[in-house]
Amino acid sequence: MSNLKTAALAASLLLALAGLAQAAELRLAAAAADDQVVTRLVAADPGAAAAALERQPLSAAWALDPQQPLAARPEVFVQESREYWLDASEAELQRGVSLPTTAAAALIRISPHSNNSTKLGIDDLVVRSAAGEFDGRAASQSLADTAALRAAGMDVSEGTVIVKLAPAVGQGRIELAAPAARGNYLIHVFEPASKNVLKLGAARDSVVAGDSLRISAKLDSARGESAKGLLTAPDGHSQAFEFRQLRDGSWQADVVPDAAHANGPGLWEIHAFASGSSDGARVLRDAKTAVAVARPTARFSGAVENLMSARGTVELGVGIEVAGASRYQLSGVLYGTGKDGLRRPAAYAQSAAWLEAGAQRLVLKYDAQSLAAAGLSAPYELRDLRLGNQADQTTLERRAVALELR
């Protein structure tokens, strides 16, 4: 009997060791070209934002509809613009500022700069076009002053006025003058009926500080002539960048956000300025979009432990290398296999905890009930695995396809 117990115990130990070896062998799949990966870590002070964060570990999971497909990667946002901005000095506005337009009924907004207390009204304006010279009232189809704009929910500076040009003014080269102008002004031209649209987008919605970000711009229904850009950090730091024009007339730029300014929450603004021509008329367009820039304070170590604690439950401990203490968040979608052999989304899980510097891990737990509800089973695949820093709400790493479980 003693020998049987000894043999049984030995077999149990062997099985346990085999299970541990199997868990130790799990590794994240190699990163794909479009994945976001931290290649170098930076030790950073957590700062006040991180120090105020919750320290209690939290986790959650819920079933997904397996019949609703999910995007393999975040869809790139493209900003479309039919507008542009110009700064005008007192002398320029008194003399007349040239405002190219490509469609009738353009809206022109005039806003005094913050150090300018002079207000301009409709009777202070003169509009000149190929159709003639018009006083402010004759040139306007409608008018909205500061009070009306604020009542409509627009946050505008005192003295702002918006004029919608009357059909009689026409389109093309418009000249706006205000002989009573004092100080400096910002002029905004918006052409809602124009076919000339500047499209601006970044290749991804987030990037690790120090890595290159590709930015693309295209001027529709016009011949693009020139474009330049400006990348502005949340702390106000700006870096200009140059676009290169491609054979199809569009522009591209590869920009490396200055890592020295990736030190807090907030999105970085991308601002593009483009000019071109359409049907013999000059086209001006500005467009803005935003991107998140993450400090590389943590990354995936590559190790994954299968911590399955109950029959039908999938529980994964994902290794994290931490260089800067903070509260980090892990999320991922578990795909299961249907009876037809196809992979479909089964459940989504996320967890968050305060992690000190060093070798750490965060756990994703997919409960058996959620997986059963989806009607899917092994083999499983972990997709859209993301590691984020909750102190600045940035994504540090993202893997479209991270792991296969058989």
172 DSSP assignment = E
Is pLDDT of 46 > 90? no
pLDDT tens digits for 84-110?
999 999 999 999 999 999 999 999 999
What is the Cα–Cα distance from 384 to 249, expressed in whole angstroms?
A: 34
How large is the average pLDDT for residues 141-148?
87
Residue type, 392: D
Is pLDDT of 221 > 90? yes
Tally of CA atoms within 13 A in the half-sphere of 313 that contains its CB: 13
Structure-model confidence comparison of residues 252 and 2, the more confident one: 252
pLDDT tens digits for 104-142?
999 999 999 988 878 888 899 999 999 999 999 999 999
Is pLDDT of 147 > 70? yes
pLDDT classification of 25: cutoffs 50, 70, 90: low
Q: What is the pLDDT of residue 236?
A: 95
Q: What is the pLDDT of residue 309?
A: 67
What is the Cα–Cα distance from 278 to 35, expressed in whole angstroms?
A: 39
Is pLDDT of 174 > 70? yes
Q: What is the pLDDT of residue 19?
A: 45
pLDDT tens digits for 317-356?
999 999 999 999 999 999 999 989 999 999 999 999 999 9
What is the Cα–Cα distance from 80 to 221, expressed in whole angstroms?
A: 13
pLDDT tens digits for 209-220?
999 999 999 999
CB 99 within 8 A of CB 174: yes
Residue type, 107: L
Structure-model confidence comparison of residues 354 and 21, the more confident one: 354
- The total of other beta-carbon atoms located within 10 Å of residue 19's CB is 12
How large is the average pLDDT for residues 191-211?
96
pLDDT tens digits for 270-283?
999 999 999 989 99
How large is the average pLDDT for residues 41-59?
84
How large is the average pLDDT for residues 9-23?
43
pLDDT classification of 146: cutoffs 50, 70, 90: confident
Helix (H) or strand (E) holding 12: helix 2-25
Q: What is the pLDDT of residue 44?
A: 79
Q: Which range has the top average pLDDT, 9-18, 68-77, 111-120, 252-261?
A: 252-261
What is the Cα–Cα distance from 46 to 391, expressed in whole angstroms?
A: 8
Tokens encoding 160: 């702002």
- Going by C-alpha positions, the residue among 237, 238, 203 that lies closest to residue 217 is 203
How large is the average pLDDT for residues 387-404?
95
How large is the average pLDDT for residues 370-379?
86
CB 184 within 8 A of CB 87: yes
CB 285 within 8 A of CB 220: no
Q: Which domains does the chain have, with CATH numbers?
A: 24-75+297-405 (2.60.40.3870), 83-190 (2.60.120.1370), 195-294 (2.60.40.1930)
Q: Measured at the alpha carbon of residue 22, what is the angle toward residues 323 and 307, in degrees to the nearest 5?
A: 65
User: What is the three-class DSSP state of 56?
Assistant: coil
